[in-house]
Amino acid sequence: MDHSILRTVQVTRYVTPLREGGSLPAIAEADDGFLYALKFRGAGQGNKALIAELLGGEIARALGFRVPEIVFAQLDEAFGRTEPDEEIQDLLRASTGLNLALHYLSGAITFDPVVTQLDEGLASQIVWLDGLLTNVDRTAKNTNMLMWHNELWLIDHGAALYFHHTWDDWESQAIKPFVRIKDHVLLSRASALDEADRALKAKLTPSVIERIVQQIPDAWLVDVDGQSPAAARGVYWQFLTMRLAASEVFVNEAKDARERII
C-alpha cells in the first residue's frame, strides 16, 4: 500500500521510556538521526491506539493545527534484546513490525491554561476537532498540548475514536453528541464554535479524510471484527464523514456544556 503521506523510519536505539499511563511510549532514535516519541503496537490498546493517533494527528494537521511529524517506525525482531527491564523487553518483543512515532519536540513544555490563555477562535477550533474525533483526552488533568518555541502543538490522539474498541452500532455512534466534551480543558474559552464549524468543515472534505484513512497499514487492521483491511478503512471513512456531516450535533453539545460552566 502507498504510504506517501507518512515516512517510514527504522528504529535504531531505545533511549528512555516515557512512563505515562499503561502504554509505555518511549523516546527512541531512528536511522534518520532524529529522536521520536515512539508508540508501540504491543502496548495498551495496541493497533487501535495507533490508528487513532494516525487519524487524529493527520486530520488535525490537515485542518492547520501544529502536530509533530508522524512517521511509521519499523522495529526489528532483534531490537531490545539487551534491554534489562523485563517489562520493556516484553513490550518490544510484542511490537515487532510497524509502529508509530511522533517527532520528539525537545525542550517543549506542557500547555498550562493558567499560564497561557489561548485566543478564543483557536480554542473553539480545538474543541471542535475533539468533538469530531470523540477525543476523551484533552482535559485539565492531561492537556495533551505542548508549547514549543512559543507555539501550541497538539499531541497524543490515541484515546480518540473510541467507537472502534467495540465496533458496536458504529453508525449511530457517528451521529451522537460527545458528552465528554464537558471535561475539555479549553471549553470555557470556546466562544466561537459556530465559526469554527464553518471554517473547519470547509477544509475537511471527504476526499481529505479518504487520503488520510488510506494510510492505515493492513497490519493494523487484521483483527477488526472479521473485516478485511479495505472494509475496515471504509468504516473509518464512513464514521468520520457521517460525523462531519452531522457536526451540529457535537457543536450544540459543546455549546450547551459551555453554558453550564461559565
Same domain as 241, residue 174: yes
Provide the grid cell at 230. 479495505
Q: Could you read off the pLDDT of 33-45 as tens digits, one per residue?
A: 999 999 999 987 8
How far apart are the C-alpha atoms of 246 and 251, rounded to whole Å? Answer: 9
Write down the H helix ranges in the chain: 47-62, 86-94, 120-133, 170-174, 193-203, 206-213, 229-245, 247-261
When pLDDT is averaged across residues 12-29 and rounded to a whole number, the result is 81
When pLDDT is averaged across residues 53-58 and rounded to a whole number, the result is 98
Residue 78 has pLDDT above 80, yes or no: no
- The distance in angstroms from the start CA to the end CA of the chain is 48
Of 74, 103, 132, the one marking the end of a domain is: 103
When pLDDT is averaged across residues 222-251 and rounded to a whole number, the result is 92
What pTM was estimated for this model as a whole? 0.94
CB count, 10 Å around CB of 116? 12
What total of structural domains would you count in the chain? 2
pLDDT at 2: 43
Residue 64 has pLDDT above 80, yes or no: yes
What does pLDDT average to over the chain? 92
Same domain as 204, residue 122: yes
Position 15 in a domain: yes
Position 228 in a domain: yes
Same domain as 128, residue 70: no
pLDDT at 22: 56
Same domain as 135, residue 71: no
Pairing outcome for strands 26-30 and 8-17:
antiparallel
Residue 7 has pLDDT above 80, yes or no: yes
Q: Which residues contact 109 (CB under 8 A, 6 or more apart)?
A: 146, 147, 148
Q: Which residues contact 135 (CB under 8 A, 6 or more apart)?
A: 56, 129, 157, 159, 160
Residue 20 has pLDDT above 70, yes or no: no
Q: Could you read off the pLDDT of 104-128 as tens digits, one per residue?
A: 999 999 999 999 999 999 999 999 9
Position 1 in a domain: no
Same domain as 170, residue 44: no
Residue 90 has pLDDT above 90, yes or no: no
Of 41, 75, 103, the one marking the end of a domain is: 103
Position 2 in a domain: no
Rg (CA), the chain: 18
pLDDT at 138: 96
Position 3 in a domain: no
pLDDT at 152: 98
How far apart are the C-alpha atoms of 251 and 126, rounded to whole Å? Answer: 12
Same domain as 239, residue 184: yes
The least confident of 42-51, 59-68, 220-229 is: 220-229
Same domain as 146, residue 79: no
Residue 3 has pLDDT above 60, yes or no: no
Same domain as 160, residue 99: no
Position 77 in a domain: yes
Q: Could you read off the pLDDT of 124-180 as tens digits, one per residue?
A: 999 999 999 999 999 999 999 999 999 999 999 999 999 998 888 999 999 999 999
Domain containing 43: what range?
8-103
Same domain as 27, residue 12: yes
- The 3-state secondary structure of 163-214 reads HHHCCCCHHHHHCCCCHHHHHECCHHHCCCHHHHHHHHHHHCCHHHHHHHHC
Same domain as 214, residue 148: yes
pLDDT at 206: 96
Position 238 in a domain: yes
When pLDDT is averaged across residues 99-108 and rounded to a whole number, the result is 96
Same domain as 213, residue 136: yes
Q: Could you read off the pLDDT of 179-193 as tens digits, one per residue?
A: 999 999 999 999 999
Of 103, 134, 169, the one marking the end of a domain is: 103
Looking at residue 68, the DSSP 8-state letter turns out to be P
Same domain as 215, residue 160: yes
pLDDT at 69: 98
